[in-house]
């Protein structure tokens, strides 16, 4: 279905449980033969907030470096990798690889949350609350030195957010939304304007912000789905997309040759004892594969 699948057993809270188990569970459910999964080895993290406000800072730094190396190797080999999380900050490793290879990459960010919390304000301290904010260079106070040197990885004009629906939660906590500085389309806007049409428009906006020939990355957080479509996520919200809508969106994006790879994150096997949800994700990956150029 994809040229290279890189499994990242990363939980931004630190432990090896929860979303960290997703790559192996999804491989076992048929997404890719387990022997074909490039699995990154990560230690457990320490579930304590560091000076940045983030939990398990050293684990985050190590994960980013290892993902960047694996994605870079895959792209240099002529492949288009799928980075299978784990938590959403695996995206930072992919963007770091893009900087090394191309100077930078644009980003189509498909997520139920904006993920740009100031880490010190984040209710959880998990880097999964903040990876897009980090990529944009927001709130750098106290970051580990190697991460502080890495960011920003994106300019606001080079990213479009599709499917975020957490504006009320952000407002309730006094956390500014990215809306107004980053192009953002909520689920109702996607439906009103057409899923495929909105996706193509978003890609065109990203291309316009980049130099000619510079590619972009697709990030998919499965909590963009409605809870009645996928319940095995840690932070569900009201509303969200259907599987059919997400398949159209992701398939349209993957049909573009200048998409250099994608991340797929946030499935928690601990919430899916019968593996019914895992099979939905495997079916989704098979469905979007037919859109490939």
| Domains by residue range for the chain, with CATH | 4-289 (3.40.800.10)
Looking at the predicted structure, is the pLDDT value of residue 264 above 90? yes
Q: Is the pTM of this model over 0.95?
A: yes
Confidence of residue 78 (pLDDT cuts 50, 70, 90): very high
Q: How many helices (H) and strands (E) are present in the chain, helices listed first?
A: 10, 8
Whole-number percent of the chain with pLDDT over 90? 95
Rounded CA separation 127/122 (Å): 9
The pair of three-digit structure tokens given for residue 162, joined into one six-digit string: 């599709």
Which DSSP helix (H) or strand (E) runs through 288?
Answer: helix 276-289
Mean of pLDDT values over 111-126: 96
Looking at the predicted structure, is the pLDDT value of residue 254 above 80? yes
Burial class (CB in 10 A: 0-12, 13-18, 19+), 121: middle
pLDDT (0 to 100) of residue 2: 55
Whole-number percent of the chain with pLDDT over 70? 99
Mean of pLDDT values over 157-171: 97
């Amino acid at each position: 279905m994809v040229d290279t699948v890189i499994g990242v057993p990363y939980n931004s809270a630190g432990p090896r449980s929860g979303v960290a188990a997703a790559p192996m569970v999804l491989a076992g459910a048929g997404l890719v033969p387990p022997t074909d999964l490039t699995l990154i080895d990560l230690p457990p993290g320490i579930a304590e907030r560091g000076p940045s406000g983030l939990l398990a800072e050293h684990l985050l730094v190590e994960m980013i470096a290892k993902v960047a190396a694996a994605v870079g190797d895959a792209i240099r080999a002529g492949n288009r990798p799928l980075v299978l999380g784990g938590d959403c900050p695996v995206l930072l490793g992919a963007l770091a690889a893009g900087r090394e290879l191309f100077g930078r990459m644009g980003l189509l960010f498909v997520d139920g949350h904006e993920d740009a919390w100031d880490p010190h304000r984040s209710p959880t301290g998990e880097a999964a609350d903040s990876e897009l904010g980090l990529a944009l260079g927001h709130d750098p106070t106290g970051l580990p030195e190697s991460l502080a040197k890495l960011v920003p990885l994106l300019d606001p004009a080079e990213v479009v957010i599709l499917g975020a629906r957490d504006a009320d939660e952000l407002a309730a906590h006094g956390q500014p939304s990215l809306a107004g500085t980053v192009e953002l389309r909520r689920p109702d806007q996607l439906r009103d304007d057409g899923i495929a049409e909105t996706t193509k428009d978003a890609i065109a906006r990203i291309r316009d912000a980049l130099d000619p020939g510079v590619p972009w990355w697709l990030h998919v957080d499965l909590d963009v789905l409605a809870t009645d479509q996928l319940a095995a996520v840690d932070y569900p919200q009201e509303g969200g997309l259907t599987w059919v809508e997400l398949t159209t969106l992701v398939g349209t994006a993957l049909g573009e040759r200048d998409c250099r790879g994608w991340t797929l994150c946030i499935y928690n096997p601990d919430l899916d004892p019968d593996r019914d949800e895992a099979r939905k994700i495997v079916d989704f990956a098979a469905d979007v594969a037919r859109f490939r150029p």
